[in-house]
Amino acid sequence: MTTLLPEGRLVYGMQLPIQSQSTIYAEPWEADASADDLRRIAQAADRAGFFYVAVCDHIAIPADRAGSMGTAWWDTIATLAWLAGLTERVRLLSHVAVLAYKHPLQTAKAWSTLDQVSGGRAILGVGSGHVEGEFDLLGLDFADRGRLLDEAIDAVRAAFTDEFPVAKGPQWPFEGCGQRPRPVQVGGPPVWVGGSSKPALRRAAERGDGWLPQGPVTQEAVDFIRAHRAATRGDDPIDIGAIAGPVYVGEPDWDTGPCLSGPAEKLAHVLKKYSALGVGQVQVRLRSRSVDELLEQIERFGDEVGPALSG
């Protein structure tokens, strides 16, 4: 198991806009944004010291969910691989990949390749999935999604570790076949497990290198992960994350809705409270009315808030 996060410092990341446009969080300007806008945003995050940029994972949205979720969900690997060639330092995260949607050898090949072309910057965030209609479209049993994810994580890890891996199934047994390129990171890209249900917390503790919560982080959840980790993995460390929600650097002169806003010192003070829970990385969603305003917010967060999160 591999941990990435530095000790004694709270690092920050962001889910990229444009590539997913759920009505829950998409800004109005994203509907007409371009791939070049996404490039500019990812490169700004790279310059601003963001630890990662994240891309979502959906195959096709059923019509009965399209009203709330939209249908704009860019391909995870294609988008991250493109961004790998446009950035230098920022890590590339899936938040989150639904591993049941693909054979584990397909997943391992894609992520080993991404790790190669990015120079070892890939992070495989995984989850069990939540759109039942999407499972139906792919001929998968939604009720079995947890077991499928557990098996997929183990099989992908086997392929990351050995050129000729062995997996015993029952859904995806394989042996006697090899894969290259090999990942740059020893043991392959770290696996960060998403979700906040008890099964997800157990999965993160037993199989993950990190935890990506869905919703607020509680001390109870962190304590559960650490206790279950100790019981199943001994002293193996684990990277704990948090989602801060909407943030605006400075005093907005427009209605941002519920949002953490104000001077950098205030934002840093609030965000550093996550450290007391044992959190090492926090995901922020910077509010904006245009791509240019988002670029300015990213730069200000990196220049003014980021340095205050250390120590």
Distance CA 22, CA 65 (A): 10
Q: What rounded mean pLDDT belongs to the chain?
A: 97
Closest CA to 104 of 61, 147, 159: 159
pTM beyond 0.85: the answer is: yes
User: CA Rg, the chain, in Å?
Assistant: 19
Residue 2 in any domain: the answer is no
DSSP secondary structure letters along 75-87 = -HHHHHHHHHTT-
**Does the residue 37 lie in any domain?**
yes
- Each residue's pLDDT tens digit, 32-58: 999 999 999 999 999 999 999 999 999
H or E stretch covering 92: strand 91-94
Looking up residue 200, the CATH number of its domain turns out to be: 3.20.20.30
Mean pLDDT score, 150-173: 98
| Structural domain that includes position 265 | 11-309
The answer on pLDDT for 268 being more than 70 is: yes
Q: Which helix (H) or strand (E) holds 23?
A: none
Residue 5 lies in a domain: no
Domain assignment present for 176 = yes
Instruction: Answer yes or no: are the C-beta atoms of 284 and 301 closer than 8 Å.
Output: yes
Residues 98-138 have pLDDT tens digits of 999 999 999 999 999 999 999 999 999 999 999 999 999 99
> Tens of pLDDT along 174-190?
999 999 999 999 999 99
Indicate whether 38 belongs to any domain. yes
Cα 13 from Cα 298, distance rounded (Å): 10
Q: Are the C-beta atoms of 99 and 148 separated by less than 8 Å?
A: yes
Phi, psi of 112 (to 5 degrees): -65, -40
Whether residue 1 has pLDDT greater than 70: no
- Which amino acid belongs to residue 149? L
Written as one string, the DSSP assignment of 111-177 is: HHHHHHHTTS-EEEEEE----HHHHHHTT--GGGHHHHHHHHHHHHHHHHH-SS--EE-SSSEE-S-
pLDDT above 90: residue 311: no
Task: List, in order, residues 6 or more apart from 109 with CB less than 8 Å away.
Answer: 159, 179
Q: How many domains does the chain have?
A: 1
125 in a structural domain: yes
Predicted confidence band of residue 2 (pLDDT cuts 50, 70, 90):
low
In this predicted structure, what is the pLDDT of residue 7? 86
pLDDT band for position 310 (50/70/90)? confident
Dig out the tokens for 101 from the structure. 């949607």
Contacts (Cβ under 8 Å, ≥6 apart) of 258: 245, 246
Residue 1 lies in a domain: no
Cα gap 301→298, rounded to integer Å: 5
Instruction: Give domain status of residue 24, yes or no.
Output: yes
For residue 238 the two structure tokens come to 């684990």
